[in-house]
Structure 1
């Protein structure tokens, strides 16, 4: 899951941020109760409340046993994989961010983790290739989260494609994207699968309320199958609801159209 907020009650909001997202400390337990076992923090809101806010988020996730990637107390932690074992399969997760400068002037590169400071994992292509290769040596499969692209675009931009292709070429089996707030297509590339954006999942928004979950069956050979589960967001509180009837078909048709535009098709 892309956890696009801080969790906690400490830290000062960053200047130049048009939107700042933070959930109360109790939200961590709610995520665990919902069955979430790994999140990516490599996005443009995990650092909305600075290093203290990130520290709270990391601590609270650790407390409830949710693994996290894409951010840390230093660069080594931000780029370290979370390795989970399910049904005898060891899966390594990594997370990266590369988003444009926001309208208010805030630049995600200002909160990138360094050797001596906390922050996010920036999507440097050489670093991604190195991280994925190292993670693949420790796990059966590698899954990469990327937070990139332009908001409200339904097609991936050049940066998204470069990140995703680099990850697959380095050995990742699956790349899952976010940031556009709208669905984008899926590409089958060099034996891997790339879902460029799953849209929104829990988000109060007037537009782009069509979304989807992606069910993926994995084996040591890679991605065995993909199944889209269309959802629509409740207009009152942003909660996802399973789409049925015309709404379900509309979302599936849109995903098929968007995927057909990508190299390799859907």
Structure 2
């Protein structure tokens, strides 16, 4: 039995017509289409609600949307299962999620990872074929689109609940695959926390764990008898043109007495994707393997993340201080960062760290911010 997992899919303005016409041949190309359709099971993450109504929620980042006509191409991709646990599925509000669910049900496309409340959103899916049962569970880091006990949205990762869900699923299945929508965008290595979480997911029974969301190929590791992939890149998502979005992987899983995991490199070609060829394919896999070797070095993940955090800190501090584009430029170019240095004394650094690090402070801060966002000051 062969199963292929792809990354994030969003039909956009540049390829909407191809999706609406069901032109899978152009979206994938002949070689990649053969690989894609050779699998008995095909899974990918739908990173946008499918709706013709524009009702964006208040959030950080873009509010994505795919037109309802694009369901033609989505169905032509013959997905066995679509996952919806991501940070965009509620971008157009509850109506966008409802529209997506109704459309997928109408076309007999199975989906998991979102629902009318957290109980529905956290339900797994079990594939059965050839005498094997494969459980699939998906969850997302906590952003603006998560479900609660009373409201719709995506299934959030909750260490007090999700790990039990995975252990329970393992008790019912031969194999368990977990798709975790999280990690830092455009960062090719796991953070120390992400590695800890995904390793714990393995300890609870997962045979394969895939961290999606980063929009770039990361690395992988073998942990216990399982495989963890820290970033596979996009599937079909034409939003940016940069080094991160230009290449991706399909995860090719052969299922028998054990799971055999292989990686199929693909490349972005304008508004469509293609199977990577020869030297390009070799280069993608070589760099993927090199990064995977990097993380096996003692303290590599911690030191790499420490450097990355130092590079990104200034951007976070400017955001917290309310810097706009022109204030930021003025401070950086003319004042050599004097405003930022004046605003953030050592005591303020310590206070911010405490607010974020301490569970009680963090919970109270988040609840207060939610109140402002939803009801005003």
Fold shared, TM-score > 0.5 on shorter chain: yes
CA-to-partner distance for each residue in 1:98-140, whole Å, 9 max, x for gaps? 16xxxxxxxx1x4321222111111112322110112122322
Structure 2 stretches lacking a partner, 5+ long: 1-43, 298-377
Three-state SS of the structure 2 residue aligned to 1:196 is strand
Q: Does 1:196 align with 2:230?
A: yes
Greater alpha carbon shift after TM alignment, 251-260 vs 1-10: 1-10
Mapped contact 1:11–1:50 kept (Cα < 8 A): no
CA shift in 2, pair 1:162/1:17, >3 Å = same
Alignment match, 2:289: 256
- May I ask how many residue pairs the two structures share in their alignment? 252
1:151 Cα offset (Å): 0.9
Q: Pick the aligned partner of 1:72 from 105, 110, 115.
A: 115
Within the candidate set 25, 36, 39, 2:82 is matched to: 39
Q: Is the 8 A contact 1:43 1:96 kept in 2?
A: yes
Select 1:27's aligned residue among 61, 70, 82.
70
Q: Which residue of 2 aligns with 1:57?
A: 100
Following the alignment from structure 1 to structure 2, what is the Cα–Cα distance between the partners of residues 64 and 93?
21
User: Is 1:149–1:159's contact at 8 Å kept on the other side of the alignment?
Assistant: no
Match of 1:120 among 154, 174, 186: 154
Structure 1 residues 85-124: aligned runs within 5 Å? 85-98=128-141, 108=143, 110-124=144-158
Contact 1:175 1:195 in 2 (8 A): yes
Which is helix-richer, 1 or 2? 2
2:185 matches 1:151: yes
Distance 2:196 2:161 in 1: 13
Q: Corresponding residue for 1:15? A: 58
Q: Distance in 2 between matches of 1:70 and 1:197?
A: 19
User: Counterparts of 1:167-246 in structure 2 under 5 Å?
Assistant: 167-204=201-238, 205-207=240-242, 208=244, 209-219=246-256, 221-223=257-259, 225-234=260-269, 236-237=270-271, 239-246=272-279
RMSD: 1.9
Distance 1:27 1:198, change over 3 A: same
Structure with bigger strand share is: 1
Q: Structure 1 residue runs of 4+, over 4 Å off?
A: none
CA contact (8 A) 2:91 2:145 kept: no
Deviates further, 15-24 or 55-64 = 15-24
| Secondary structure of residue in 2 paired with 1:171 | coil
Q: Secondary structure at the match of 2:194?
A: helix
Consecutive unaligned residues of structure 1, counting only runs of 5 or more, are 100-107
Q: Against the structure 1 CA distance between its residues 58 and 248, is the aligned structure 2 distance closer, same or farther, given a 3 Å change threshold? A: same
Q: After TM superposition, give the deviation of residue 47 of structure 1 in Å.
A: 1.0
Residue 203 (structure 1) shift: 1.8
Q: Tell me, yes or no, if the aligned pair for 1:17 and 1:48 is still in contact at 8 Å.
A: no
Choose 170-179 or 158-167, whichever is displaced more.
158-167
Partners of 2:276 and 2:99 in 1: CA distance: 35
Tell whether the 8 Å contact from 1:94 to 1:145 is kept in structure 2 after alignment.
Answer: yes
Q: Distance between the aligned counterparts of 1:97 and 1:117, measured in 2? A: 16
Partner of 2:336: none
Q: Aligned equivalents of 2:111 and 2:197: distance in 1?
A: 20
Larger Rg: 2
Using the alignment, how far apart are the partners of 1:32 and 1:92 within structure 2?
22
CA contact (8 A) 2:88 2:145 kept: no
TM-score normalized with structure 1 length: 0.88
Distance 2:293 2:210 in 1: 18
Normalising by structure 2, report the TM-score: 0.63
